[in-house]
Structure 1
Amino acid sequence: MASLSQLPFKLPQDYFIDLARTVGVYTAPYLDPVEAAIVDQLEKYAPTAVHHVRGFLAAVESPLARELPLMNPFHVLLISLGYLFTIFVGMRIMKNFNRFEVKTFSLLHNFVLVSISAYMCGGVLYEAYQAKYTLFENQADHSAAGLPMAKMIWLFYFSKTMEFIDTMIMIVKKNNRQVSFLHVYHHCSIFTIWWLVTFVAPTGEAYFSAALNSFIHVIMYGYYFLSALGFKQVSFIKFYITRSQMTQFCMMMIQSSWDMYSMKVLGRPGYPFFITALLFVYMWTMLGLFYNFYRKNAKLAKEAKKVKAAAAATEKAKKLQ
């Protein structure tokens, strides 16, 4: 069975890659001089640091990353800072405006993310099957044969920019409580980490996290979409979303733990060790933050249940009088 990339027509990831390349062409005349000026200043005041960073990037860059757009770390930094700046400014601007109703836009946004998440989950698993991947211990393939998987991993990385819109919707709806440290940290850090994964090794073990996270997002954005349409029957899913996310983190920790054990103790070749170790540490931070979020929500739900029960008892007492 042929790889998806061998079909006689363009696939969604190809269109997104073309889009990113086009944006890069139009923004280059504005961004390149800024990047050059910043690098010149850094070379002037911190030449050793610049030398080491350049050496590190040159040493770890996958040949496949050169076939993909949005791989310049300066652009990644700009997008991340732009995301944080938009949050900072947006929340202050919205203080002077009423809450905007963006139901139609939210529906479209959630539908797009459900669709692309389902596509990425299926596409990554299909390419993994084609490449004869096992559950764990899959080495990075930097040859041309790895390009189809690399494109899927790139699409997963690029989709993290689309998830930034979650925050923008919260801001215009004035749901500032939802724009928590966990929310901002997760969105900003995951985008940067997946740039690094795509830059260094967009094949091999990267498939597991991409497929698993895409599957969880099908459930999450599917719930948001159906809830916005008024399907109250799906409300029970809300209580399982955070649990499923924490389960995901545990599974990724198991993967990274096994891979590190395999490489360092058993001496087997494997995925880049520093990426595997980064995944392990990052999953610990996510598990801790999400568990804290889960506990707070459970406490609030319990308190709300008590208030509702007390109100019902009061109402019943009034009727008996």
Structure 2
Amino acid sequence: MASDAVLTPVSVARDDIYFLNLRIDPRVKDYMFVGNAWFPIIVCGSYLWFVYKGGPAFMQNRKPYDLRRVIQIHNLFMVVTNIFFFYKFITNSYLANYSLLCQGMTYATDHNSMEIVHYGYWYLMLRILDFLDTVFFVLRKKFDHVSFHHVSHHFCCVFSGHLWVTLGMDGHTLAGLCLNSCIHIFMYFYYFLASLGPKIEKYLWWKKYLTKAQIYQHIFLVLHGLIPVFYDCGYPKFFIYLAVPQGLLGLVLFLNFYVASYSRKRQHANATSAAKANGHTETEDCQRMEQRVMEKEIGLKKDR
């Protein structure tokens, strides 16, 4: 059972043992699933089971489902809801009385703080809904899309998000919520446009910059997250030890994705341009390659 004791702002800020005891934030002790250690284990465990075992087994002898309309509705819903959460987070924090440099945690019960806590809880529920991205991949047999990067990102958001909501989610790391919800607006808007088919593809040139924005997001969150380590503004270091490694993991994975997706494309484009500059085309090169293969096969037959 959760403790009803309310610590003073000073004792909360300076006693990280409070968080290691996993006592819940008094402001959210009546919210469903908050403080229940089994909740993230069951939810995230079920997600991993479906993605890696249950889903592929279910789809083994089935044709891919046509979920285009469902996905479009899902993506539009996520755009609208992330706009809503971004507005709620930014107006009750940095457009109110928050310090962007370093913001402590006081467990205050004023209107702005309670808005952040309330909508932070529902933002966690929204991140659980993100699991549908992977579910759609499995049901459409897009198994190559179910990467470690994709799965670990969704898993960490929910697992650590539940811990934040339980122990206290306002304060310094709210910058992460503001930035994350903003990025998700553009991300799901891109997904919606991409689901409209090839005719829209020429308008999606900005995908590369969306990936860059996600990289910059993680760089900012890591550097910004380290500030309370060197500057005491009353923010518990426990959360820094939780947030920074997760931010570094996300940064490495996004950098790897960027290099794999765009550096190789650039190399291919440069090679193609060089061939064209020498009077060759990709079609001509393919034809020459096929001709060489045929000549080699004919030569082998003659030898026999």
TM-score (norm 1): 0.74
CA displacement at 1:129 relative to structure 2: 4.5
Alignment of 1:145-156 (within 5 A): 145=110, 146-156=113-123
Q: 1:262 aligns with which of 231, 235, 247?
A: 231
Partner in structure 2 of residue 250 of structure 1? 219
> What residue ranges of structure 1 are gaps of 5+ in the alignment?
1-51, 264-268
Alignment of 1:179-190 (within 5 A): 179-190=146-157
Alignment of 1:293-308 (within 5 A): 293-302=257-266, 305=269
Matched, 1:284 2:248: yes
- Cα 1:171–1:308 change in 2 (3 A) is farther
Matched, 1:178 2:141: no
Q: 1:100 aligns with which of 56, 65, 71?
A: 65
On the 8 A contact 1:197/1:206 being kept in 2, the answer is: no
What is the rounded CA distance, in whole Å, between the counterparts of 2:43 and 2:59 in structure 1? Answer: 22
Matched, 1:63 2:31: no
What is the rounded CA distance, in whole Å, between the counterparts of 1:250 and 1:126 in structure 2? Answer: 24
On the 8 A contact 1:140/1:204 being kept in 2, the answer is: yes
Matched, 1:166 2:133: yes
Q: Which amino acid aligns with 2:79?
A: V
Q: Percent identity?
A: 22
On the 8 A contact 2:79/2:189 being kept in 1, the answer is: yes
Alignment of 1:62-211 (within 5 A): 62-71=25-34, 72-88=36-52, 89-129=54-94, 131-145=96-110, 146-211=113-178
> Which range moved further: 132-141 or 186-195?
132-141
CA displacement at 1:307 relative to structure 2: 8.2
Partner in structure 1 of residue 236 of structure 2? 272
CA displacement at 1:292 relative to structure 2: 1.2
On the 8 A contact 1:107/1:228 being kept in 2, the answer is: yes
What is the rounded CA distance, in whole Å, between the counterparts of 1:256 and 1:129 in structure 2? Answer: 16
On the 8 A contact 1:110/1:225 being kept in 2, the answer is: yes
CA radius of gyration, larger in: 2
Match of 2:58, SS? helix
Map Cα deviations across residues 182-232 of structure 1 (whole Å, 9 max, x no partner): 111111111111111111112112321111001111111001112222433
What is the rounded CA distance, in whole Å, between the counterparts of 2:203 and 2:27 in structure 1? Answer: 41
What is the rounded CA distance, in whole Å, between the counterparts of 1:295 and 1:165 in structure 2? Answer: 27
Matched, 1:239 2:204: no
- Cα 1:280–1:314 change in 2 (3 A) is closer
CA displacement at 1:174 relative to structure 2: 1.1
Map Cα deviations across residues 229-259 of structure 1 (whole Å, 9 max, x no partner): 2433431121112211110001111211112
What is the rounded CA distance, in whole Å, between the counterparts of 1:297 and 1:69 in structure 2? Answer: 41
Q: How many corresponding residue pairs?
A: 261
CA displacement at 1:314 relative to structure 2: 4.6
CA displacement at 1:118 relative to structure 2: 0.9
> What residue ranges of structure 2 are gaps of 5+ in the alignment?
1-16, 287-304
Match of 2:170, SS? coil
- Cα 1:53–1:144 change in 2 (3 A) is closer
On the 8 A contact 1:246/1:290 being kept in 2, the answer is: yes
On the 8 A contact 1:136/1:259 being kept in 2, the answer is: no
Map Cα deviations across residues 140-159 of structure 1 (whole Å, 9 max, x no partner): 23132221110122122221
Match of 1:96, SS? coil
The CA RMSD measured in Å over matched residues stands at 2.6
Partner in structure 2 of residue 313 of structure 1? 281
On the 8 A contact 1:139/1:270 being kept in 2, the answer is: yes
What is the rounded CA distance, in whole Å, between the counterparts of 2:250 and 2:165 in structure 1? Answer: 20
1 or 2, which has the higher helix percentage?
1
